């Protein structure tokens, strides 16, 4: 009798099964056709949730790619009782077999999603088990109200397509807007995921992390980082309607305090505050510390880019008017630019940087001096150099010779892997000495390499001394940046990578923006041996003719409209002047989309 029962049970499972356990193995399969939605969906990045269930990291990997592309929040659906390897073995009457065969099975989930109501778009990921979504996905769908939310399933499997696994979920959230799902193989790439998301017509407006919080005190603008809590979420919502101005006064010789004029949700705790921190007192009082105190507060954030002594001087004594606001690192105020003078973007370090400049790679000797002088005379105020360019002294010479006030010019230089990373303090001091312009606005690590964290921390020490204002990275990408940031104290203000119409970094740019990091393009015209081809591209030439500008100007305008700073190099005074003259025309959405289609993922240099 028992043998008959087990035989019938196994036959039942074989009929039910459409594929083997998707997360146990994987093979490459051509992606099946996907029918794009005919609607133009729009979501803010902080309104996107990427929820997934994964036992062997296959679905988790796809979820991470979606997060990188959309800037959404990643959430793992975890069973209260974790699955073991034995549980996942097929046709053993194990736990997974039993749950999938039982239509009423609802495995219990541990944890919950805070603020679920704010999410408008939910990507829902799972492995295929016996042709269907695991029953824990059913539990998840029945645990929240999905009314008026958009749900986009994605799954991973060994060989089969998504089948009916997504449509069978619809009755569990009948008031949701369901979008056709997608199956991915185990070896699916970031590009596969990015291309799929592009077909969904979801206009993603990154807003959460790339919004730079700032204080305006007189004519001084100070950047600040915010804590992640209910109080700062509520404050950011208030600031969406515009800046907030408050009056603040000294208290106790260590702080400025003033009423916000509205309450914020408080989660007070006893703490010892440090200079440059700001907190919520009671529910409506903003406190900025230029000294220290021990009391019960809710942390709000920290002002960056200034020393405690500088902050105290900026705040002044007595009553002070302070404005709170937010600005984005992913979009520039191009309307404020004029030909011959580029607008600026506030970095997360608190300093302003022009969004268009000149690169000095391959410029040497008097040619470098004259090129930088020509750029400065044309209105360029952003200059990029590096130790490896061998021209820091010439750049400094041109700046001194120009007699333009030092504070109007933003200089970037870089130290290089190898000897300089091994002895970074010496390398940094050499850069200061060669440039001989008082201080360096930004220093970058030129590439990842041995001792790069050590080198970065040495730059941090020079920031504390006021000899360097901001820190950044060059040739860092998504995989490198996450690991690197966790090891340093000051978040990079900028990442400088190869970016041009043939290599658009469509995933890297929004990901860096989501971290509050400005992106900058070297090789904005394609680089050595490729510039002529790019400037002759028929699509770009047609757009240039439409606006009566040059192809180079179209490319630079394209960079700026997608939130990427550009540093084109040239020794030709006419070209230098042309490059800083891109503020009297605007590319249409159609033209921006046409340039987006030119992307070949074609990198022209090795780093």
Q: Is 75 exposed, middle or buried (0-12, 13-18, 19+ CB in 10 A)?
A: buried
CATH assignment at residue 374: 3.20.20.100
Other beta carbons within 10 angstroms of residue 374's beta carbon come to: 20
CATH assignment at residue 106: 3.40.50.360
Other beta carbons within 10 angstroms of residue 182's beta carbon come to: 25
Please report the pLDDT score of residue 326 as a whole number: 84
Exposure string of 189-216, with b = 16+ CB inside 10 Å and e = fewer, is ebebbbebbeebebebebbbbbbbbbbe
pLDDT at 38 > cutoff 60: no
Torsion-angle region of 563 (φ positive above 0: left; ψ -120 to 50: alpha; else: beta): left
Residues 257 and 136 occupy one common structural domain: no
Split at pLDDT 50, 70, 90, the class of 20 is very low
Q: Tell me the residue length of the chain.
A: 607
Residues 194 and 275 occupy one common structural domain: no
- Of residues 186 and 43, more confidently modeled: 186
Please report the pLDDT score of residue 71 as a whole number: 79
Question: Which range among 61-70, 204-213, 221-230, 413-422 shows the weakest confidence by mean pLDDT?
Answer: 204-213
Please report the pLDDT score of residue 46 as a whole number: 61
pLDDT at 28 > cutoff 50: no
Cα separation, 337 vs 344, in Å, equals 9
Please report the pLDDT score of residue 44 as a whole number: 52
Nearest to 70 by CA among 122, 114, 34: 122
Please report the pLDDT score of residue 384 as a whole number: 98
pLDDT at 18 > cutoff 70: no
Predicted confidence (pLDDT) per residue in 506-540, tens digit: 889 988 988 889 999 999 999 888 999 999 999 99
Please report the pLDDT score of residue 204 as a whole number: 54
Residues 271 and 392 occupy one common structural domain: no
Cα separation, 46 vs 55, in Å, equals 26
Percent of the chain with pLDDT over 90: 68
User: Among 183, 205, 227, which residue terminates a domain?
Assistant: 205
DSSP calls for 385-452: --GGGT-HHHHHHHHHHH---GGG-EEEEEE-TTHHHHSHHHHHHHHHHHH-SSSEEEEEESS--TTH
Predicted confidence (pLDDT) per residue in 551-584, tens digit: 999 999 999 999 999 999 999 999 999 999 999 9
Residues 83 and 7 occupy one common structural domain: yes
Nearest to 275 by CA among 286, 288, 287, 289: 289
Residues 172 and 190 occupy one common structural domain: yes
Considering the domain boundaries, does residue 251 fall inside one? yes
CATH assignment at residue 260: 2.40.100.20
Please report the pLDDT score of residue 526 as a whole number: 93
pLDDT at 585 > cutoff 50: yes
Considering the domain boundaries, does residue 603 fall inside one? no
Q: Is 258 exposed, middle or buried (0-12, 13-18, 19+ CB in 10 A)?
A: buried
Split at pLDDT 50, 70, 90, the class of 7 is very low
Average pLDDT in the 34-43 region? 42
Considering the domain boundaries, does residue 605 fall inside one? no
Average pLDDT in the 260-269 region? 95
User: Among 172, 205, 238, which residue terminates a domain?
Assistant: 205
Please report the pLDDT score of residue 203 as a whole number: 56
Q: Are 131 and 160 in contact (CB under 8 A)?
A: yes
Residues 135 and 14 occupy one common structural domain: yes
Considering the domain boundaries, does residue 333 fall inside one? no
* Catalytic residue list: 389
Residues 131 and 223 occupy one common structural domain: no
Mean pLDDT of the chain: 88
- The tally of domains found in the chain comes to 3
257: which DSSP letter? E
Average pLDDT in the 366-379 region? 98
pLDDT at 148 > cutoff 50: yes
Cα separation, 242 vs 240, in Å, equals 5
Considering the domain boundaries, does residue 116 fall inside one? yes
Q: Are 54 and 23 in contact (CB under 8 A)?
A: yes
467: which DSSP letter? S
Q: Are 28 and 185 in contact (CB under 8 A)?
A: yes
Average pLDDT in the 124-143 region? 95
Task: Give, for 557, the enclosing helix (H) or strand (E).
Answer: helix 551-561
Average pLDDT in the 491-497 region? 95
Residues 294 and 180 occupy one common structural domain: no
Considering the domain boundaries, does residue 601 fall inside one? no
pLDDT at 300 > cutoff 90: yes
Residues 447 and 463 occupy one common structural domain: yes
User: Among 263, 293, 328, which residue terminates a domain?
Assistant: 328
Please report the pLDDT score of residue 226 as a whole number: 86
Please report the pLDDT score of residue 210 as a whole number: 61
Residues 98 and 152 occupy one common structural domain: yes
pLDDT at 410 > cutoff 70: yes
pLDDT at 73 > cutoff 90: no
pLDDT at 2 > cutoff 50: no
Split at pLDDT 50, 70, 90, the class of 489 is confident
Residues 466 and 546 occupy one common structural domain: yes
- Of residues 225 and 493, more confidently modeled: 493
Predicted confidence (pLDDT) per residue in 93-118, tens digit: 999 999 999 999 999 998 888 778 88
pLDDT at 155 > cutoff 50: yes
pLDDT at 19 > cutoff 60: no
Query: CA of 11: how far to CAs of 101, 134, 165, in Å?
Result: 12, 20, 21
Find the domain containing 53 and state its range.
2-205
- Of residues 32 and 344, more confidently modeled: 344
Split at pLDDT 50, 70, 90, the class of 142 is very high
Give the tokens for residue 195: 């291309």
Considering the domain boundaries, does residue 602 fall inside one? no
Predicted confidence (pLDDT) per residue in 195-245, tens digit: 898 888 665 544 444 677 889 898 787 888 888 889 999 999 898 888 899
Residues 318 and 430 occupy one common structural domain: no
Give the tokens for residue 418: 């190898």
Helix (H/G/I), strand (E/B), else coil: 209? coil
Other beta carbons within 10 angstroms of residue 402's beta carbon come to: 16
Considering the domain boundaries, does residue 604 fall inside one? no
pLDDT at 282 > cutoff 90: yes
Q: Are 123 and 50 in contact (CB under 8 A)?
A: yes
Average pLDDT in the 139-166 region? 90
R_g of the chain, CA atoms, integer Å = 27
């Amino acid at each position: 009798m028992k043998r008959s029962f087990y035989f019938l049970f196994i036959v039942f499972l074989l009929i039910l099964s459409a594929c083997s356990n998707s997360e146990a193995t994987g093979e490459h399969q051509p992606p099946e056709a996907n029918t794009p939605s005919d609607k133009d969906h729009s979501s803010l990045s902080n309104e996107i949730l990427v929820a997934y269930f994964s036992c062997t990291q296959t679905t988790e990997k796809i979820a991470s790619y979606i997060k990188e592309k959309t800037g959404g929040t990643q959430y793992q659906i975890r069973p209260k009782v974790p699955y073991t390897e034995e549980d996942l073995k097929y046709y053993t009457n194990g736990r997974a077999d039993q749950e999938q065969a039982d239509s009423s099975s609802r495995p219990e989930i541990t944890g919950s999603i805070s603020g679920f109501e704010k999410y408008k778009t939910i990507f829902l990921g799972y492995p295929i088990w016996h042709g269907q979504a695991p029953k824990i996905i059913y539990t998840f769908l029945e645990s929240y109200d999905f009314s008026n939310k958009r749900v986009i399933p994605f799954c991973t499997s060994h060989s089969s397509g998504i089948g009916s696994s997504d449509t069978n979920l619809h009755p569990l959230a009948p008031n949701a807007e369901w979008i056709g799902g997608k199956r991915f193989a185990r070896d699916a790439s970031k590009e596969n995921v990015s291309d799929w998301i592009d077909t969904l017509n979801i206009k993603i407006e990154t807003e959460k992390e790339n919004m730079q919080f700032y204080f305006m005190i007189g004519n001084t603008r100070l950047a600040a980082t915010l804590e992640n809590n209910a109080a700062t979420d509520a404050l950011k919502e208030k600031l969406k309607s515009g800046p907030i101005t408050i009056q603040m006064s000294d208290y106790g010789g260590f702080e400025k305090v003033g009423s916000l004029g509205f309450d914020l949700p408080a989660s007070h705790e006893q703490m010892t505050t440090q200079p440059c921190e700001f907190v919520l007192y009671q529910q409506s009082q903003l406190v900025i510390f230029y000294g220290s105190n021990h009391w019960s507060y809710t942390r709000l954030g920290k002002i960056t880019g200034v020393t405690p002594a500088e902050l105290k001087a900026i705040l002044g004594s007595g009553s002070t008017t302070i404005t709170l606001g937010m600005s984005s690192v992913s979009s520039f105020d191009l309307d404020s630019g004029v030909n011959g003078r580029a607008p600026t973007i506030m970095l997360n370090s608190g300093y302003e940087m022009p969004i268009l400049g000149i690169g000095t790679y391959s410029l040497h000797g008097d040619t470098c001096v004259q090129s930088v002088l020509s750029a400065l005379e044309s209105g360029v105020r952003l200059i990029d150099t590096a130790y490896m360019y061998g021209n820091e002294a010439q750049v400094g010479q041109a700046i001194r010779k120009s007699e333009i006030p030092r504070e109007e010019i933003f200089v970037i230089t870089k130290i290089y892997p190898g000897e300089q990373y091994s002895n970074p303090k010496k390398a940094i001091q050499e850069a200061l000495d060669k440039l001989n312009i008082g201080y360096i606005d930004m220093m970058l690590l030129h590439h990842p390499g041995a001792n790069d964290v050590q080198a970065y921390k040495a730059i941090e020490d020079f920031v504390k001394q006021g000899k360097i204002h901001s820190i950044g990275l060059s040739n860092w990408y998504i995989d490198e940046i996450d690991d690197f940031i966790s090891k340093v104290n000051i978040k990079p203000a900028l990442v400088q990578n190869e970016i041009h119409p043939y290599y658009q970094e469509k995933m890297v740019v929004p990901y860096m923006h989501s971290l509050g990091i400005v992106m900058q393009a070297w090789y904005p015209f394609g680089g050595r041996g490729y510039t002529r081809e790019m400037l002759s591209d028929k699509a770009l030439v047609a757009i240039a003719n439409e606006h009566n500008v040059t192809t180079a100007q179209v490319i630079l305008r394209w960079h700026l409209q997608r939130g990427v700073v550009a540093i084109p190099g040239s020794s030709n005074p006419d070209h230098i002047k042309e490059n800083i003259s891109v503020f009297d025309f605007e590319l249409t959405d159609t033209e921006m989309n046409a340039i987006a289609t030119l992307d070949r993922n074609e990198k022209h240099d090795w780093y």
